[in-house]
Each structure stands twice: as C-alpha cells, then as structure tokens.
Chains A and B, each alone.
Chain A
Amino acid sequence: MGKRVLVVDDDPDVRLFSQTVLEENGYIPVLATNGEEGEEAVKKEKPDLIILDVLMPRESGIRLYRRLKTNKKFKDIPIIMLSGIAEKSFLRSQKVLTEFGGDPVPEPEAYLEKPVDGDILADTIKKVLG
C-alpha cells in the first residue's frame, strides 16, 4: 500500500499537479485547501508526508507548520514546503515568531519554490520519505 501524502494548497492547479505527480509515483494523495482543513486532515488521515503551501486563506502554512512541529503527536511527520514565498522569508518568519515567545521549530525537511518541475517534486518526496 502506497504512503499517504497530504497536499495543503489553496490553488486548485497546484493541488491537481501534485495529485498527478503523487499518483504517478505510487503515493496516495489527500487534498486540503487551507491551513484549517489541513490540520483536520492531519488528525484524520495521519499522513506519512505533508506538502504545504505558505500563503493561503483562513490560515497560512507558517502557523500550521509551527503547530505541527511543536505537537509531539505530529512533529515527526516530514514536511515539504511548496510555495511562491521565498525560503528565506519563511525561515525569517519562524525566527521572529520564536523571538516573540513561541517554541523553536526545526527547518522543514525540504523547501521548494513554485513553480516546481514534476520530476524535482517526485525526487524530493522520494528523498524525504527515504
């Protein structure tokens, strides 16, 4: 049975693209459209990997990332960030939130800036899942 990969992205084109890449490579995609839905899906589906966008309605990937990585139940689920937001802005935001009194969080397992090539996404998933 293939591993379950949760894709959290508000852009339907990106969800479809990721779904196609995942299915072609034998994974089971689970889709969510924002941070809130994403968190629900993490609880319900217990994914082996999460592909997470940053800029989304309702809740950004930055807050969801922090919550997952500071939750002992979910912190070991690897996360690939897939976003138009630059990696350095993501890392800076996490640093600032930690400085504001939040718990420190590790860097994501991988960071891909959009647009990403299907082969690169597939290779990254393979590498992160070992």
Chain B
Amino acid sequence: MNQHNEKNMVIRKMLFVTKFEELGFGALQSLLPLRKSALEHVIFMNVIERDRVAMQRGVGYKKSEERKLREQANIRFIDWAENLFEQGMEVGAYIVVGNLVPQVIDAAEKENADLVVIGRRSRKMMEVFYSGADITELLSRIERPVLVYKNRLDTGSILEKPFKKPLLAIDWSPASMRAVEYLKNLKDVIHKINVVHVASSKELKGTSNFDIQQLRKEKREKLDKICEVFLANGIEAKSHVYVGDTIEEIERAAGERKSTMIVMGSSGKSTWVERWIGSTPRYIAEKSPYPALIIPYGGDH
C-alpha cells in the first residue's frame, strides 16, 4: 500500500474479484455504503481459469472459448460500470486468463487496492465457487485486507450491509491490532462493533473461581481499551470475553451478537501470537458461514 493509504488505513480502492455466479451486482451494491467512508474507485476482476481454454489434444488452444468468456465478462462489467460511473465513481476492469491467486495479487498490487473482495458461497449451497485452497493461498500470500464475501446463512440472499455490525476477534497480535486501525475509520458505515477475545480452556486449567474471574477481568479491561479507540472515532463498541475453543466461540459470539461479518487479523509471518497461528482465520474465511474480513499485518510496513 502506498504511504498515504497505509498511514490512514482507509478503503479508497476496492478490487472486486468475481466469477459472477457467487458475487453479482447485488453483492457489489451491498458494499457501496463504503462510499460514505472513502471508497471512490472499484476495480472489477474476472479470472478465466486456464483449464477452460487450455490446449487440448485435437482441439488446440481454445481461442474462441477464451474470446466468448472474455466477452461475457466484459458485457457484465460494462453494465455494472455504467451504473457506478453514473454515480461519479471511478471504475476499472481486468479480464485475464491464468491462475486465480497470482492474478489477484498482481492486480491488487498494480492498483494499490485497499480491500480485495472475493466470493464464497455459504456451506448450505451445493457449489463452492472459489475453493478453500484458493482462499487459503490468497490469504497467506497477499499483504492486503481481504473480504471473503458470503451470502446470508438463512436465505442465501445478499447481506444488505455487511459492514453494519462486525464482530472483531482480537488476539492482541500485530495483525489484529492493525484490524482496529482499519475499522476505526469506518464510522459512517459501521453501526456497532462487538470486540471479542476468546480465552482458551487451557488458560483456565487448575485455577480457582477467583482466578477465572480475574482472568476475565483482565481480558475485558484490555478489550475495553480497544473499544475506547472506536468510541473516540464515533463508533459504538462493546467488549466480550468468551472461553473455550477459539473457532467455536468466535462463531458463537457472531451468532449471539447478530454480527454481519467476522473481522480478524492474519499473518503468515512470525508476528503470530498465541494459538491463532493460521488455523483460526483460515477456518473462518473458508468454512464459517459468516463473511470474513482478514487483515494481514502487512509484512514490513
């Protein structure tokens, strides 16, 4: 990210990666409230998988298939772009043939995107459009925030406002503290943030009731300091301490707080602390029914 965007951690430019089936115009529209914050530029991206047009014995490279797929994507993007241009937004588009992850990372870097949005249908759906492996690879290689967009659990329909009520899962890692910086500038979009920390059962073993209460109090006080950051930026925030299995408790908290998405830090680098080393954000992104916004630490930034 450039110096300016990194310093201020705002979402000016969004890379919207779509195969159309899982992320349509409705999903795009649900993210347009980000305009009230700083969003001014949307880049559409469609990656045509190489397998679909690759060389085959007796057929050769399927140039006409590539042309057809490009044209189909182009027609959709033109329709979406007209709508956004008419609202005074800046729009760009990439239609490329290749492997999803390197193409997305390349476009995100070229465009200096502040947010990458990629779709994944909920578990209830028959088809998963981007495989878990693609999403995991993307999250482990990209140094930019990624929103893994998912439709509503109950109806499979589009969430109206995914940023309205996020659940921020905190593990005190540099990446999760960066998530605080990222969210605190979204006061015009976020209605309320629930900030949660999950203490593991291991931390409680062999301790008395007093110790458990003391642990909870300490964690709560630390979370309250984070809530104060949000409150100072005009965002209502509430802290919660849960105890147990990290993934289960995060999902439980999201359900109990009627959260619209789960936000957490992630990093493949050595900045990980405690037990969330890779597996929790990966699970939440890949398998949780909630949309997941994963914020990397940002490498050397």
A residues near B (Cβ < 8 Å) are 54-60, 62-63, 84-86, 89-90, 92-93, 96-97, 99-100
Contacts and interface: CB of A to CB of B under 8 A. Distances in A.
A39 B78 CA distance: 23
Nearest to B80: A55
Given A55-B77, A57-B43, A60-B91, 20 more contacts: A55-B78, A56-B92, A57-B110, A57-B111, A58-B92, A58-B110, A58-B111, A60-B85, A62-B90, A84-B78, A85-B81, A85-B82, A85-B85, A89-B81, A89-B85, A90-B85, A92-B86, A93-B88, A96-B86, A100-B88
A20 to B, nearest CB: 18
B78 A93 contact: no
19 contacts: A55-B78, A56-B92, A57-B43, A57-B93, A57-B94, A58-B92, A58-B111, A59-B92, A60-B85, A60-B91, A62-B90, A63-B90, A84-B78, A85-B81, A89-B86, A90-B85, A93-B86, A93-B88, A100-B88
A13 to B, nearest CB: 9
Interface string B77-106: 110011001111011111000000000000
Interface of B: 43, 74-75, 77-78, 81-82, 85-88, 90-94, 107, 110-111
Contacts of A58: 92, 110-111
Contacts of A97: 88
B82 A57 contact: no
Interface of B is mostly: helix
Given A84-B78, A85-B78, A56 B93 contact: yes
Contacts, number: 53
Contacts of B110: 57-58
Given A84-B74, A85-B78, A54 B85 contact: yes
Nearest to A91: B86
Sorted from nearest, which 9 A-B pairs have the closest CB atoms? A96-B88, A89-B82, A93-B85, A92-B86, A84-B78, A57-B92, A55-B81, A97-B88, A55-B93
Contacts of A57: 43, 92-94, 107, 110-111
Contacts of A86: 82
A84 B74 CA distance: 9
A123 to B, nearest CB: 25
